[in-house]
Structure 1
Amino acid sequence: AADDRVWLRVTRSRSVRCALSSPTPRPWVERGLLASGADLVAAGEASDLRVTVGAEPGSGQGDALTFAPPAAVGPVGLGPALVEPRVVAWDREHPLLAHVELGDLLLGAARGLVLGSSADPLVFARPAAGGEAVPIAAAFRADGGLHVVVGFDPDESSWPRQLSFPIFLRNLVRAAEERLEGSEPSALRAGGPVSVPLQDAEVVTLTLPDGAQRSLPVVDGRAVFDSRQGVGVYRLRTPSAERLVCVNLLDPQESQLAAPPTLDVGARPISVETSSHARREVTWWFALVACGLLCVEVWAYHRRW
């Protein structure tokens, strides 16, 4: 039957590729990313996470973290400058701020952020001179990833010297890992379109399970094809990489291995009965009897002498 064979793609887990960009060296950020398990690559190379300090983050697919941006980043604009602000609140429920304590964070300077409707505030601070609290960190989703904007330079704060800084970076790397794991399923069910994320490519060559090839356009970083062209392994090849997508029938009826409640044999249905009695191994009973006889023999021998 068509469901007797299943194709499954098994891959090795890999580390998150992180591109760090900054006009000056940032050892604190670099060490935090390395301690989080990320692999640092040169700025401009294909990456899963882009970290930028004091510069514009640029464009690309994946997640991004921007410290002290010189201009607006997506729906996050720049507000007034804050002198020695004090953190007054942060979103403890957000995954990026899990186990992150910011109550003792000291800031030399920061920029308030003006958030659009698609951005969520993460951290609020109030100027030392008083006034209304404004967001200094925010997050939004775009280009298939999570973008985080922080309105201050970590070197102008006590954050790199606190335990919460590497924890925050680890949460960010973990979010990128979850996105990568979720975007590459090991197998799919036939019956609809399949969207595969691809970077740095405008056209991809699709090889069908029967060996036929065709070209597909890459729109917004994704190639879409119809999985109803047959079950098996689909290969998407770009000049720099190859992606495998396994499509199976996964029919609920053919994949049902449990015994049906009734069997129609002739004009009279027969119900299936399950029994709790089964043959049991009796070897251990013989071993127990042999052990008892051995104990009796040893006892009789010592009693005799």
Structure 2
Amino acid sequence: MNFWPGFYALQSAWFLFLLVPLVIFYFLKLKRPHQRVPSLALWSQVINDRRVNSPFQRFKRSILLLLQILLLLFLVLALMQPYMQSGAERAEYLPILIDCSASMAATDSESGKTRLDLAKERVTDLIDNMLPDQQFSLIAVSSTARRLTAFTDNQRVLKKALADLTVDDVPSQLEDALRMTQALSRTAPIKTVLFYSDGNFPREVNFDLPFELNFQLLPAAGGNMGITSLNARKNQSGNWDVFIRIENSKQADSPAEVELIQDGNSVAREEIVLGSGDSQRLEFSIAADRESRLEAILTPGAPDSLAADNHAFLTIPQSRQLLVYIDPELASYRYALSDNPELILYPQEKSSTAPLEYDLIIGTSEKDLNRSALVKVGVGFVPEDLTKLISLESNLTDVVDWNRSSSLLRHVELADVQISQQPVWAENANVEDLESLGYEVLIHGRLGPLLLQKRDAGELEYYYLFNTDRSTMPYRVGFPIMVSNLVQLTLQEAGISETQAAATPILPPLELQPDTQYEILTPAGNELRAESDQNGRISGVAALHTGQYTVNGAGAKNVKISVSLLNPLETSLVSEDEIQFSEVPVTATQSQVDSDKPLWGEFAIIAFLLLLGEWWYFQKRPAGTMS
């Protein structure tokens, strides 16, 4: 630090010339009238004042004049806006990124302050020490970036935005904030960016830094234990197996109690002890023949830094049968599924009625697959958007390889399967062309792909490019296994046999009335508005806080949706001390930022005290004077 102060408004030094009229006025004080008196013994002071008023006589030292000179000097120094130089380069435009993800709500046992509170204190110090030529812009960093203020030197605006900043129960995404800052650099010269965080974010960030990043690492919080996973699966007996994963941070061993609440009633409770950095998966079995709401509550037996991960919510769906359409020509599929009690087959022989939407469609043409369904399986044709890449020939072929990790082909053996239709690649066509269109090859033939998978607007699609009934596949043991996998996939897509707790920062999609406005009340008491699309689907609604969201509107009266944190990284409170960017790493520092400290306030206070001293000296009565 440079102990010699700098001056921002050095031109104000011209006000020092006010010393000249001050001294002149002292010499030219008003002369008193002449009076004849019997004696001069009592008028010695008057004679001295007369001598002082004469510009050609040496004047006696005056404390009052000295106070006035000092007062003027300190006022001029205050106008010159002095500051104590830190020695660091001063940034005129300084973006300040503040992490407000879930882990920033973690506290420590000593101060009881959250990491966000510590960040606010440091940023407040910077705002208090702003110089007149500096402008700050505050940016909140959570799952997305939010610009809290534009570049401004208004301390009141900056402090209000800082005070209103709260923690979001979401993971941190630094890349979005850096891209926002890069966009700001097009409107203002940005050389340095400040980033305050506890270091709880992915170590690698895919971003090329066009500016210097000053990573201010906040002190670590205390120990923490939290719920990181909650899901349920329907078993063969019709009950639901509920799975809860609890993880402990690396600070210390900790006991805890886990309680499972079903529709407001406690149905299970278990005590656990986790070592440092350990995790444990708990399993409970519950009965639910209708929609049921579950809440897992974790009660740590030791000091716990983060409260957001101590609750998790899950909804058990209403049990129902799957609605399945199978083309009557596909006899092998209809036969394999005819006795399955979990579904209803269409079209039915004795009824011409059919639902508007299906859960699963297995068809032999594009027309069949134009119906609405969660899972669609095309058999024996090439999709229209692939006809230029693949053609069908009437030749024998077999399976060369298949994706054994695919959910559809799990435990399915396809070796020695003979196929009478052969898909063939067009000239210069390859797998990359399919991937560019969103397709994935699950089964490879000799001259082309045999089975494709595609996820399209929430629908899962499979395409057998050959007719499975014109192959030996239906006569293999793997065929009923594959059909069973298909049913399980559909159950999962429909959320009937397996469900998982929704997590921040996005609400799960809602199926409501088309083209309708809805109001969503958040756990924090804020109201959001969302409009459904032409299919009645609402998606992409931000869920920044854990808890219950209430949806109201046409066809939705107090619909409840609950979201949880469920993020192992946020629960672990792991702190990264280095960020690896595309080109260079950035190492964190825990020392506070050196900034120039303004001194004009101190000089103004001294001037005010001198003014009070002058007033007191002028007003005090001479010694020996009677009151």
The aligned amino acid for 2:443 is V
Does the 8 Å CA contact 1:55/1:68 hold for their aligned counterparts? no
**Cα offset, 1:74, TM superposition:** 6.8
Does the 8 Å CA contact 1:61/1:199 hold for their aligned counterparts? no
More helix by share: 2
Residue 160 of structure 1 is matched in structure 2 by 474
Matches for 1:102-141 after TM superposition, within 5 Å: 102-112=414-424, 116-117=434-435, 118-126=438-446, 133-141=447-455
Residue 362 of structure 2 is matched in structure 1 by 51
The aligned amino acid for 2:444 is F
State the SS of the aligned residue for 1:28: helix
Query: Could you give the per-residue CA deviations for residues 75-114 of structure 1, whole angstroms, max 9, x where no partner exists?
Result: 9954131322222332223232121112232323344467
Question: 2:531 aligned with 1:216, yes or no?
Answer: yes
Give, in whole Å, the separation in 2 of the partners of 1:241 and 1:59: 29
Which segment is superposed worse, 166-175 or 179-188? 179-188
Matches for 1:25-174 after TM superposition, within 5 Å: 25-33=329-337, 38-40=342-344, 42=346, 45-56=356-367, 57-58=369-370, 60=372, 62-69=374-381, 71-72=383-384, 78-112=390-424, 116-117=434-435, 118-126=438-446, 133-174=447-488
Does the 8 Å CA contact 1:236/1:244 hold for their aligned counterparts? no
The aligned amino acid for 1:89 is D
**Cα offset, 1:139, TM superposition:** 1.3
Question: 2:517 aligned with 1:201, yes or no?
Answer: no
Which segment is superposed worse, 117-126 or 222-231? 222-231
Give, in whole Å, the separation in 2 of the partners of 1:146 and 1:73: 17
Query: Could you give the per-residue CA deviations for residues 130-176 of structure 1, whole angstroms, max 9, x where no partner exists?
Result: xxx32121112222233111012222223223221121122222233
Q: CA 1:233/1:146 → structure 2, altered by over 3 Å: closer, same or farther? A: same
Q: CA 1:137/1:188 → structure 2, altered by over 3 Å: closer, same or farther? A: closer
Which segment is superposed worse, 61-70 or 241-250? 241-250
Residue 234 of structure 1 is matched in structure 2 by 550
Question: 2:492 aligned with 1:178, yes or no?
Answer: yes
Q: CA 1:247/1:99 → structure 2, altered by over 3 Å: closer, same or farther? A: closer
Percent of counterpart pairs with the same letter? 16
State the SS of the aligned residue for 1:177: helix
Which segment is superposed worse, 173-182 or 86-95? 173-182
Give, in whole Å, the separation in 2 of the partners of 1:222 and 1:183: 22
**Cα offset, 1:179, TM superposition:** 3.7
301, 314, 319: which one aligns with 1:14 = 319
Matches for 1:185-196 after TM superposition, within 5 Å: 185-186=500-501, 188=503, 192-196=505-509
Q: CA 1:227/1:95 → structure 2, altered by over 3 Å: closer, same or farther? A: closer
The aligned amino acid for 1:198 is E
Give, in whole Å, the separation in 2 of the partners of 1:44 and 1:113: 38
RMSD, aligned α-carbons: 4.4
Gaps of 5+ in 1: 127-132, 256-305
**Cα offset, 1:204, TM superposition:** 5.7
Residue 25 of structure 2 is matched in structure 1 by none
Gaps of 5+ in 2: 1-306, 347-353, 572-627
State the SS of the aligned residue for 1:62: strand
Does the 8 Å CA contact 2:502/2:564 hold for their aligned counterparts? yes
**Cα offset, 1:224, TM superposition:** 3.8
Q: CA 1:105/1:234 → structure 2, altered by over 3 Å: closer, same or farther? A: same
Residue 281 of structure 1 is matched in structure 2 by none
State the SS of the aligned residue for 1:140: strand
The aligned amino acid for 1:20 is Y
State the SS of the aligned residue for 2:509: strand
Give, in whole Å, the separation in 2 of the partners of 1:214 and 1:93: 41
State the SS of the aligned residue for 2:357: coil
Give, in whole Å, the separation in 1 of the partners of 2:407 and 2:334: 21
Does the 8 Å CA contact 1:9/1:244 hold for their aligned counterparts? no
Q: CA 1:227/1:87 → structure 2, altered by over 3 Å: closer, same or farther? A: closer
The aligned amino acid for 1:225 is V
Query: Could you give the per-residue CA deviations for residues 11-64 of structure 1, whole angstroms, max 9, x where no partner exists?
Result: 246357343242x44332123345666523656632333221244421646322
Q: CA 1:95/1:228 → structure 2, altered by over 3 Å: closer, same or farther? A: closer
- With normalisation by structure 1, the TM-score equals 0.60
Residue 166 of structure 2 is matched in structure 1 by none
Number of residue pairs aligned between Structure 1 and Structure 2 = 243
Q: CA 1:248/1:167 → structure 2, altered by over 3 Å: closer, same or farther? A: closer
